[in-house]
Amino acid sequence: LPITGFWDSRQGGRDENQDQCAVIDTPLGFLALVCDGMGGGPSGSLASDTAVRKIYEYLNTPHEDMNRKEVLKEAIEYAHQSILSLGDENPRLRGMGTTVVAMLINDYSAIIAHVGDSRAYQFRYGHKIFRTSDHSMVAEMVRNGVLTEEQARLSSQSNIITKALGGNLKDLAEVSEHAYEAGDKFLLCSDGIWGMVPEKELIRLTAKPSVLSKAVANTIETIEGLGRESGNTHDNMTIVMLEMKKDSKLKVKMSKKTIRLLAIMAVVCLLSIVANIILAKKLSAPNMAEQKVEVLTKELSTKKKQIEDLQAEVNKLNTEVAKSKRETADAQLEVAAEKNK
C-alpha cells in the first residue's frame, strides 16, 4: 500500500510517558494506533502497552468470514478483556485503563475505531472532513449544546472520560469506514496534542504543511513549547500522521455540504436561464411587433391590389354592358324604322 507515515511520542511535563503508539503491517492491512494509559504508578503504561500488543496480536490471527470493521472492534474488545484479566490477577492493577484510537487501512478503505478521547482526523486539501467524537463528559455536553468545543477543551473536567479499555462498560469501540483520496492525511493523537491548542490551530499545524515530516515535527515542538511556557506540567503527547498516495477502491461520497452547494448552484443556474428567457422575450417584443406590422402591411397592399384588379374588371364589364345596351338600342331603332316604311 503506497503510504507515508511519521510519528512521535513525548513525556511532556509528567513523570513518565504512559502513551503508546504503533505503526505496523498486519494481514488485514496497515495498522496505526495511539493509546493513552491511565492509572497510578506503572499501571497506566502497562494498560496502554497491553492494548497495543493485544490488538496487534488479535489482528494477526485468522478471521474467516469477518469483515475488517468487525475484526478491529473485536481486537479492541480482546485488549479490554486482557487488561481486566491483569487486574484480576494483581489487585494493585485494578482500575488501570487506557484510551485507544486505531486505524486499519488497506487499498479498499480505512477503518477507524476509538475508545475514550484519543482522536483521529482525516484531512483533504488542508481541511477537516472527519473527526472522531470523544467519549468524555465535556464532549457529551458539547453534543447537547451546553458547551462549545473550545469551552470543553479548556474545562478543568476535560480529562473525565466515559469509556476506556479496562472500564466497566461493554461494546466500547465506535467504528467507522472511510474512503480516501491520494493526498489525504490521517492524524491520530492523544489529548496531550489536541488539548493544548484550539482545533483550528491544530489543523493549521498538521493539515496545511505539504511535507508530512515537518508537520509532525512542528506540531510536537509547538505543543512542547506551550507546555514549558505554562509551567512544564503538560501531558504526555503522541502523534501519528499518515498520507495516502492513491485513491481507495471505496469511492468517496459527496459530503452533505457539497450536495447542498451543487443544489444551490443548480437553482441559481435555473433562475439565470429563466431570467434570460424573460429578458430575451422582452427585448424581442418590439421586433416581433415590427415584423407583424410589416406582414400586415404586405397583406393590406396585396388586398388593395386585388381590389383594384376587381374594380378594373367591374369597369370593364360595365363598359361591355353599356356597349351591349347601345347595340341593342340601335338594333331596336332599325327594326322600328323598317316597320314604318
Q: Between 113 and 280, where is the model more confident?
A: 113
In tens, the pLDDT along 33-59 reads 999 999 876 799 999 999 999 999 999
Asked if 212 and 185 touch (Cβ cutoff 8 Å), the reply is yes
DSSP secondary structure letters along 184-217:
-EEEEE-HHHHTTS-HHHHHHHHTS-SSHHHHHH
Asked if 119 and 131 touch (Cβ cutoff 8 Å), the reply is yes
Closest of 117, 242, 116, 217 to residue 172, by C-alpha: 116
**Residue range 61-65: mean pLDDT, rounded:** 84
Residue 29 β-bridge partners: 26
Q: Quick one: pLDDT at residue 147?
A: 97
Distances 183 to 33, 36, 60, 312 between C-alpha atoms, Å: 20, 28, 28, 92
In tens, the pLDDT along 88-117 reads 999 999 999 999 999 999 999 999 999 999
**Residue range 70-93: mean pLDDT, rounded:** 95
What distance in Å separates the CA atoms of residue 36 and residue 164, rounded to the nearest whole number?
10
DSSP 117: S
Predicted TM-score (pTM) of this structure: 0.76
What distance in Å separates the CA atoms of residue 279 and residue 148, rounded to the nearest whole number?
49
Among residues of the chain, what percentage have pLDDT more than 90?
A: 68
In tens, the pLDDT along 122-138 reads 999 999 999 999 999 99
| Helix/strand/coil for 71 | helix
Q: Quick one: pLDDT at residue 273?
A: 73
What distance in Å separates the CA atoms of residue 239 and residue 234, rounded to the nearest whole number?
15
Asked if 202 and 194 touch (Cβ cutoff 8 Å), the reply is yes
| Structural Rg of the chain based on CA atoms | 44
**Residue range 280-295: mean pLDDT, rounded:** 67
**pLDDT(216) > 80:** yes
DSSP 92: G
Q: Quick one: pLDDT at residue 210?
A: 93
Q: Quick one: pLDDT at residue 114?
A: 98
DSSP secondary structure letters along 216-272:
HHHHHHHHHHHHHHTTS-PPPEEEEEEEESS--SSPPPPPHHHHHHHHHHHHHHHHH
Residue 161 β-bridge partners: 136
Residue 141's pLDDT band, with cuts at 50, 70 and 90, is very high
Q: Quick one: pLDDT at residue 320?
A: 74
